[in-house]
Amino acid sequence: MPMMHVRVNPEKCQGHARCIAAVPEIFEEDEQGHSFARDEQVPADLVDAVRLAEQNCPELAIDVTDD
């Protein structure tokens, strides 16, 4: 069964923190105010929320892969 992985591209992230507000279980703020994915492997119950965060990131900084 494929697992979803997520990462935040630090080159693109501008730190709006939308993803952190939406899925605090996955996204966290670093010292610069940018987001990173705490656990790159997404638990099944958070897959939909992470996809929504990906779609709502204004910088298209969230990369999701299924593998």
Contact 4, 48 (CB under 8 A): no
x/- letters, 48..67, toward ligand SF4 (CB under 6 A): ---------x-x-xx-----
x/- letters, 8..47, toward ligand SF4 (CB under 6 A): x----xxxxxxx---------------x------------
Tokens of 38: 């705490």
Coil/strand/helix, residue 8: strand
Element (H, E) at 27: strand 27-29
Nearer of residues 41 and 56 to ligand SF4, judged by Cβ: 56
Contact 42, 19 (CB under 8 A): no
Residues making contact with ligand SF4 (CB under 6 A): 8, 13-19, 35, 57, 59, 61-62
